[in-house]
Amino acid sequence: MLIIRKVTLAVLLAVCTLPTFAYQHIVSCTLIQTQTKEDFEKTLEKRHLPKSMVPIKNTVDVYDITYYTKWHDGTTIKASGLYYLPRDSRKPVAELLYDHGTRITRDKTRKPGGEESICLAFAMDGYAVMQPDYIGLGTGDKFHLYQHAESEGQAGVDMIFAARELDDSLHVRTSGQLFLTGYSQGGHASLATLRLIEQRYADRVHVTAASPMSGAYDMCGVQGEVMFHPYSRPHYLPYLLSSYNEVYHFVPDINQIYKHPYDSLVPLLFDGRHSINAIDKQLPAVPKDMIADKFLNAFVADSNHPLRIALRENSLCDWAPQAPVQLCYCDSDQQVTPLNAIVAYKTMKSMGAKHVTLREVAKDLNHGSCAPIAALYTKMYFDSFRRGKKYGGKGPVKEQIVAGIAKRIVEKKAQKDREKKKEKEQHTAGQDALPRKEG
């Protein structure tokens, strides 16, 4: 049951709008729901997951925050995000920034589900979780700059500042620990946020540890090769090209890049009303097949092509993080090749990073199935810092056993889903092979 407490909401709205409080980052904030411990237990039951998977200690208030951040040209704009705050925690809470995966539409999820459930799971165990909508999603200004490291990181940093202003107004005690994580695009965004903090905000923000999960870090390398082969999510390419052209201006009109009919089809598909699945059905299986030959040939031939330069600037491998980093991946990830994590790990180590670890989450889980288990391994990693480990660890044996049980449950479900999909494909193929009556 979701509870909106009218008294608390009225008080909060008064706090958020009082001119005497002098917010610098927050534009507005609203308490939109309260998730009780009983609510979350029911969520685990529905998904057939053990209650021991996550310590359920706190009721969680969820706030919708609008705050100021920067557009890629440095101008001030508004962005939004959700803040999951444990209520009446006896101990100071650790801060956690969670970056979500790829989203096309602006609609912001208001009910717990998917990655919002991951945020709630952390908050139930005493983490104050910030979930930015990035720039251009949620209720923010402009449009989303997909896989653009600078704007991903800036939106994350400014949400940290906004959440801390709200903490001050609500007298929330924090522990001084800050963790960064996210899945898929969120893996890229969380690593981009860490890099931005260490480069520009080290005097104001200290990151305890980061655990990016299944992110496309090697944009100019292994992930960049995806466009030349059959791929289950071809929408990534036009989404990326539109975003990068806004920042780097490699053509006057992005639609000039595409062959007919994609030069007129892509703008219609990316109108904010089509789902990812609907878009993918209209695009070629090999993403490069939608690109005009002239542009594609120039890209292949020129190592300093403007698009290659953009990809290099948004790759996140060639630096040495100072904070401890755990790079999570699944071997059977068909959308974000595990080589992203492996290349990032090897490159960072070669550049002098001392506390970067590579974490294989599972061998048989695909991109979607990997997420909840990667999040569980991430939580165990972060919990080890809360228990006093300076550079982190895998977590207590008991927690590793619970994680193993949860992984087997998810693997079993994933296997059933694969079998159902195969049966459906065989049935469809059989129907297509039947002779048809004429007339």
Q: Is residue 433 part of a domain?
A: no
Instruction: Indicate whether 180 and 67 sit together in one domain.
Output: yes
The four Cα atoms 215, 316, 390, 175 give a dihedral, to 10 degrees, of -80
Query: Are the C-beta atoms of residues 227 and 288 closer than 8 Å to each other?
Result: yes
The answer to whether residue 199 is domain-embedded is yes
- Residue 423 included in any domain: no
Using the 3D structure, point to which of 271, 292, 312 is the last residue of a domain. Answer: 312
Give residue 345's domain range.
Answer: 6-219+321-417
Q: Are residues 10 and 109 in the same domain?
A: yes
Kindly state whether residue 426 falls inside one of the protein's structural domains.
Answer: no
Q: Are residues 308 and 366 in the same domain?
A: no
> DSSP secondary structure string, 47-75?
TT--GGGS-----EEEEEEEEEEE-TTS-
pLDDT at 404: 78
| Residue 351: count of CB within 10 angstroms of its CB | 13
- Do 316 and 217 contact (CB within 8 A), yes or no? yes
For the stretch 101-158, pLDDT in tens is 999 988 665 555 689 999 999 999 999 999 999 999 999 999 999 999 999 999 999 9
- Output the pLDDT for position 406: 78
Q: Which of 312, 336, 353 is the last residue of a domain?
A: 312
In a domain, 126, yes or no: yes
334 in the same domain as 300: no
Kindly state whether residue 375 falls inside one of the protein's structural domains: yes
Phi then psi for residue 153, to 5 deg, are: -65, -40
Distance in angstroms (rounded) separating the CA atoms of residues 42 and 39: 5
Last residue of a domain, one of 283, 312, 341: 312
**37 and 87, same domain (yes or no):** yes
Q: Is position 352 within any domain?
A: yes
Q: Which of 163, 226, 219 is nearest to 191 (CA)?
A: 219
Same domain for 229 and 210? no
Q: What is the CATH number of the domain that holds 307?
A: 1.10.260.160
At 148 the pLDDT is: 98
Task: Please indicate, yes or no, whether residues 160 and 282 belong to a single structural domain of this protein.
Answer: no
Does residue 263 fall inside a structural domain? yes
pLDDT at 408: 81
207 and 244 housed in the same domain: no
How many domains does the chain divide into?
Answer: 2
Longest Cα–Cα distance of the chain, Å, equals 80
pLDDT of residue 15: 47
Q: Are residues 157 and 178 in the same domain?
A: yes
CA distance 179 to 186: 13
Q: Verify that 129 and 195 share a domain, yes or no.
A: yes
Which residues of the chain have a pLDDT value below 50? 1-15, 17-20, 437-439
State whether 170 and 286 are in the same domain: no
CB neighbour list of residue 179: distance below 8 Å, 6 or more residues apart: 94, 95, 96, 97, 127, 207, 208, 209, 210, 211, 382, 385
Domain with 409 in it: what CATH number? 3.40.50.1820
Are residue 184 and residue 297 in the same domain, yes or no? no
